[in-house]
Chains A and B, each alone.
Chain A
Amino acid sequence: QSALTQPASVSGSPGQSITISCTGTSSDVGIYDLVSWYQQLPGKAPKLMIYEGSKRPSGVSNRFSGSKSGNTASLTISGLQAEDEADYYCCSYASSSSYVVFGGGTKLTVL
């Protein structure tokens, strides 16, 4: 089981859009629309932002959107705000042994 690959860091200015990629394999990201995305503020538990690839839980801003192409999933944040500065993790269901795999995390800096 290998972790999903995310960029270590991304940055953007307020109002801009940024995209965080999450690359897996044909056994996890590529085979299912079951990628989820989490926002983690310092000292806090992760918060679910996107599930099943592109669905938003109630209460999550529509500035957050998810997509997938092949073995790579993406999280896009539009209209960047200072409060979006956090660590972001992707997560996918994997077919082998019904396990779950996380990405290494991406630190988003709002300039």
Chain B
Amino acid sequence: QLQLQESGPGLVKSSETLSLTCTVSGGSISSSTYYWGWIRQPPGKGLEWIGSIYYSGNTYYNPSLKSRVTMSVDTSKNQFSLKLSSVTAADTAVYHCARQGPGKAPDYWGQGTLVTVSS
């Protein structure tokens, strides 16, 4: 059974860089079928797609976040990562990593990790 697990600091200071890693188990991140993505959900609000990465390193980012987002993949560790720079309180959210199947629909999700941006 495929599992995804997010890891990283739960508290980030305003203007600094948020860094998260997603570890995939029960399947290979190098599969040619899937993309791997990050999705966030501010407290009490809806879901927002951040970006997706292919095992080859090709990336697609949400245009509204593109200037601040960097995603990378480490196939040797079966992990992919997110960096979001110049964070503000508006970036406080639960961050989920997910596998994306046909049409980039997220089908397997990590449980999510709350990241709070403090001033």
Contact = CB atoms under 8 A, between A and B. Distances in A.
B107 A99 contact: no
Interface stretch (A13-21, A43-51, A77-85): A43-51
Contacts of B102: 34, 51-52
Contacts of A3: 46
With most chain A CB atoms within 10 A of its CB, the pick from B48, B101, B104 is B104
B26 interface: no
A100 B37 contact: yes
Contacts of B109: 45-47
A7 interface: no
Contacts of A93: 103-105
A69 interface: no
Interface in B33-64: 37, 39, 46-49, 52, 60-64
B47 A105 contact: yes
Interface in B60-119: 60-64, 96, 100-107, 109-112
A51 B47 contact: no
Contacts of B63: 1, 97, 99
A98 B104 CA distance: 9
With most chain B CB atoms within 10 A of its CB, the pick from A34, A45, A89 is A45
Contact of A52 (B37, B100, B103): B103
Given A38-B106, A45-B112, A100-B49, 7 more contacts: A45-B109, A45-B111, A91-B105, A91-B106, A93-B104, A100-B105, A102-B46
28 contacts: A1-B63, A3-B46, A34-B103, A36-B103, A36-B105, A38-B106, A46-B47, A46-B96, A46-B106, A48-B105, A48-B107, A52-B103, A52-B105, A89-B46, A91-B106, A93-B104, A93-B105, A97-B63, A98-B104, A99-B49, A99-B63, A100-B37, A100-B49, A100-B52, A100-B104, A100-B105, A102-B39, A102-B48
